């Protein structure tokens, strides 16, 4: 079921641009075989980023088209950052799907820790924070 929601979320994505801006050069990353990357910002560990990468592959979020995401953490809350098409942040169906996606990551990757989804524009400006619970 989560995979279906991930594919719906994926349809709304554009290619993320963390490395293109040079911002990501200061952050470590774990890659997939197709060139997608999970950048992570301490205190997130490489093990957590690797588990997230594997989850995103399994759920088909990472597919044939290389993508980049950033996972960071503030307090006990993980922050999953990715670029979306401008305007999607106001689509209530998309927001509902993002909440389901957030809950899946919380349960299957981060041991039930809170996961907020940060929707960014193509200049990496924050458009909206989706809080699942």
pTM: 0.84
Higher pLDDT, 48 or 8: 48
Buried/exposed 37-56: b ≥16 CB within 10 Å, e otherwise: bbbbbeebeeebbebbbbbb
Half-sphere exposure of 96 (CA within 13 A, CB side): 3
pLDDT band of 24, cuts 50, 70, 90: low
pLDDT per residue as tens digits for the range 61-104: 888 888 999 999 999 999 999 999 889 999 999 999 999 999 99
Write out pLDDT tens, residues 61-70.
Answer: 888 888 999 9
The pLDDT value recorded for residue 47 is 98
Tell me what the mean pLDDT of segment 114-128 comes to. 93
pLDDT score, position 26: 75
- Average confidence (pLDDT) over 22-39: 82
Domain tally for the chain? Answer: 1
Owner of token pair 């509902």: 96
| Residue (of 68, 22, 72) closest to 42 by Cα position | 72
Mean pLDDT for all residues in the chain: 85
Give CA angle at 41 (40, 43), nearest 5°. Answer: 115
Q: Half-sphere exposure of 23 toward its Cβ, with a 13 Å CA cutoff?
A: 14
Identify the domain containing residue 37 by its residue range.
2-131
- Identify the CATH number of the domain in which residue 31 sits: 3.30.300
Question: Tokens at residue 7, please?
Answer: 């594919």
- Is residue 19 over pLDDT 60? no
pLDDT in the model for residue 37: 93
Give the pLDDT mean for 16-31.
64
């Amino acid at each position: 079921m989560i995979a279906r929601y991930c594919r719906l979320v994926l349809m709304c994505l554009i290619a993320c641009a963390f490395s293109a801006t040079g911002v990501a050069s200061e952050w470590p990353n774990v890659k997939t075989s197709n060139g997608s990357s999970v950048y992570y910002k301490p205190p997130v560990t490489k093990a957590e980023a690797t588990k997230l990468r594997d989850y995103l592959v399994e759920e088909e979020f990472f597919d044939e088209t290389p993508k980049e995401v950033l996972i960071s953490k503030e307090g006990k809350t993980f922050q999953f950052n990715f670029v979306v098409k401008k305007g999607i942040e106001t689509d209530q169906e998309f927001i509902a799907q993002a909440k389901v996606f957030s809950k899946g990551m919380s349960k299957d990757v981060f041991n039930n820790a809170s996961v907020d989804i940060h929707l960014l524009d193509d200049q990496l400006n924050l458009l909206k924070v989706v809080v699942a619970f």
